[in-house]
Structure 1
Amino acid sequence: MSEPARPQHTTRRLGAAWAAGLTALIAALPWTAAGRLPDRLATHWSGGGTPNGSMPLWAASVVPAVLWAALAAAVLLSARRGGVLAAGRAAPALLSGGVLLTGAQASVVRANVDREDWQQAHQPVGWILGVVAAALLAGAVGVLLGRRHRPAAAPAGPAGPVLDLPEGERLVWFSRAANPWLLALAAGFGLAAVAAALALLGGLAPAGPGWTLLAVFTVVAVAGAGCSSVRARVSERGLEVAFGPFGRPVRRWAADEIESARAEHRTAAQVGGWGYRLSGLGTTVMLRGGECLVVRIRGRAAEFAVSVDDAERGAALLNALNSRRAH
């Protein structure tokens, strides 16, 4: 087993143990005070602390435990697929989520103890704020622990592939990629925005909630459309990356701003999802898993990557242009 694999494997084992232990604890908490609890437990409160929802004892035990187990499994699976960086990001999610759900379960039990009926249960705001504060603190500890397993920056190596560029010739490289699911998401929310606008104009929806829905639907539709497709262009001017079906907005880097370029295989799990992602790998425009064009910008530690086809040829042309300029 290689050295980098050991901390990653240990992190996964500790994460699995933490998840399993808290699942058992969350499920067991109501049963530890079963003799002092009403037949049904208050599990939801209004803003004023008045209970407005309840569950039988078995459901109050099982539902939060299953919810936590599902969330923990999703985080651990993402960490397993995403490698060391994803494993480091799993620590704050597992710690904060576990403390939050365990604290919430403890607060439910505490509020119902020695009550004859669930409607008598009262949930103090101070207790809730304490649970949230503890979860935030646990998340901060998780961030610190995750940094311990973050791989050190790789030393500067070869710039990447270099295209044999004949003297006097000018070459241009184009490539693009699209994600039909993001486009469908944008279209769906776009239709919802149109429906909300028509409902507002026709007086069929109240102004307050209607405008809120219209704003949310519009923002999601525009963001989804902007991340649904991408077009990359490499020329003597440098790198240009255009977003969305209309090629707007556009990010540009002059040729002398780019230090090096390479092609690299990346997945959505490694960068934290789909679309425009910020992670320990830098900025990645992730539309499909696979080959990405990765560029290092002069004076910046973070890299920029975009998932497009034929990325190796684009990287080779950028490096060739850099080499020509250096000579």
Structure 2
Amino acid sequence: MTGQARRNGAALGAAGWGLGVLSLLTAMPLAASGRLPDRLATHWDSGSGRPDGSMPLWAAALFPALIWGVLAFVVVVALRRTGARAGGGIPGWAAAGLGSGGVMLLGGQASVVRANLDRVRWQEAGSVTGGVVGTLVLAAAVGAAGLLAARRAPGAHRPASSGPDMEIPAGQRIVWLARASNSWLQALAALTGLLALAIVVSVLAGLTGLPFLLAAAPFALACVLVLTCSSVRTRVSEEGLDVAFGPFGWPARHWAAQEIESARVESRTPAQVGGWGYRLSGLGTTVMLRGGECLVIHTLKGKEFAVSVDDAERGAALLNSLRTRHSG
């Protein structure tokens, strides 16, 4: 997948996250309006823990959404000023900011709604301390995850001669890096993740019972599995071939150079291998993220593994050269 396509996929995921957070922030208090007082407690005294400030229901619904809109606008402006990352994805600071900011606002809104639920007056609202502490911890974890995912993203591959084989000068180490992603799979992961998040937030806000939390499990599992199969990073070096999946580069597969009998380039389509993602078929194992050029290895055990990445010919040439060096 080209850098432009990766940028489009990242932008699509960021837009989906932004709209999802915005919808949940406004929908939570409105959905519970029948069980809330006319004014909602929105501020608590740090000493006594009692509510000492309030807002009308409509303001409590729109104010966090306004904060979220300002945060998203600032991030977009900063991205336009600094330029896109070479790899085509969202920079780590932007992913961390949007991720942790969205979680913090959602957790705060859920805590406010839960504290005011089934109260006659806003002065009777319960405490939000537990919810706020849990939200801060989760927001910090999400921010750290965004930074970690960005740090694991590879840079551009180093140039090397093209062809089925290449000569590597003695003492020189060459590394080939490639990345591929599928924006539609990433969008599906974002959708299932937002559905799981909506269920969790509704439970935290007290809008649904705790047993309803089990309904989030299938969506959360689907989100993790689809996200893991939606992108891949491939690395060829003296140690052999490494293929890492998902934004965090885990799970990963490794083949030592001496385990590979040959490497080649082959054009494959999703129809040939049975669909998208991690596929098992008569052609062996294929990581199919886009139809077309694939790097294919044939191991000494007689198994084949293919991954759809750009510039696969260069990776195959380097693998064949490394195999020849080790066998010699």
Query: If the length of structure 1 is used for normalisation, what is the TM-score?
Result: 0.49
| TM-score for the superposition, normalised by structure 2 | 0.49
